[in-house]
Amino acid sequence: MKQPLVFKADFKVNHMKIKNLSPLLVLFIALICTSCAGDEDFSNPLDPENLRTAGAPTGLTLAPGNQQVRVSWKHVEYDGIAKYRIYRRYSGDPNPQFQRIAEVDAPTTEFLDTKDISNDQFDSELGAALVYEYRITYVDSDGVETPDPNSPPSEDADPPKIWPIVSVTPSEPPPAPTIILGDPTDLTIKLFWQDYVPPEDFEIFRVLAAVVDDNGGLGKFRLLGETTKDRPFFFDEDFSRDGITKVYHVIAVDRAGVEAVTRIRAASPDLPPAPPQGFRAAIIPLPAGGRYDVYFSWTPNKEADLAGYQLYATSADGELLSRPRVDAKHSSHKFSADQAILVGQELVARQYFITAFDDTPRADGSLDESELVAAR
């Protein structure tokens, strides 16, 4: 049997020297060697003796399509690998047998199979999907193929060895959804495809997104969620500030796993936070004539981009005067010794208002504030 491509440690013990070691140390060395030997079957995936791979390249994945299957695998950075071979069998054949369908030079790790492939094949009696099954081998620079297709490893052997097989059913892709953007909402992008007509073999919608950075670069796509055909919409609320741009993939998937993708770009709208709720002002008169302390309280906002709150008071002629800004982490504030205003012939407390503002100023530099809320 040929040696595996990755070298493994070779533990050798000098029997003359071992006689001078203590029994406990001898036992310790024996346990280490036994442990290392036990791991050898799994440490090198290209080792023909590996029980989990039988030496086959790892990472075999299939992407079904319209009368095609994209086969991909993981390349191992080793100079001794010269080629990869792809084998296929069809469960609908009378006597399914693996046949070699392709050979590619390393370091290629992908092959598009379009030869004699049919879509949406099912067993007429059992109703089960008929599948195309794939497995792969590598050929080293000496022309030795692993695993050996002429003497394939067997799961019935002792110990059993597994030559990984992956299966798939090609299918005609479902129609791609037509996406429209919903009405602007703070820190939310709404995606709708309500006119979508799902085919009989429809399975699910998936929504992925990638963030566009400040230089226009696109980050990694990640799955935001899945939704069923009776919920043709998705709300993305994962925003920390206004103006974040994302690219979305809304994917229709059929029961064979074949996808149809619609791509759309959108940015979180530049909108202010919601108005604060439960705003109250308690007036505590002071001994000095016409002065009082004001104790403000409100229910804190929950927007991720909330920067703070702005307090206002009315003047004698009804204009709004700025009072202190309050940090976003607070939901109360004391304003000391405010001055009452003269209305007619009486001194009365001012009216008070509050707004919430976010961390994205308006184009003119002013606060991006919510609507005014009057104190109760």
160 is written with which tokens? 């059993």
CA distance 187 to 240: 7
- How confident is the model over 236-243, as a mean pLDDT? 94
Average pLDDT over residues 49-71: 87
Average pLDDT over residues 58-83: 90
Looking at domain 277-374, what is its CATH homologous superfamily? Answer: Immunoglobulins (2.60.40.10)
Q: CATH homologous superfamily for 180-267? A: Immunoglobulins (2.60.40.10)
Rounded distance between C-alpha atoms, residue 376 and residue 283, angstroms: 11
Give the Cβ contact number of residue 351 at 10 Å. Answer: 15
Residue 288 has pLDDT above 90, yes or no: no
Of 42-46, 101-105, 161-165, the one with minimum mean pLDDT is 42-46
- Mean pLDDT value across residues 185-205: 96
What's the CATH number for 1-171?
2.60.40.10
Q: What ranges do the domains of the chain cover?
A: 1-171, 180-267, 277-374
Q: What is the pLDDT of residues 100-158, one digit of tens each?
A: 999 999 999 999 999 999 998 888 777 688 999 999 999 998 999 999 999 888 777 77
Q: How far lies 253's CA from each of 231, 257, 291, in Å?
A: 14, 6, 69
Per-residue model confidence as pLDDT tens digits over 244-277 = 999 999 999 998 889 999 999 999 999 999 999 9
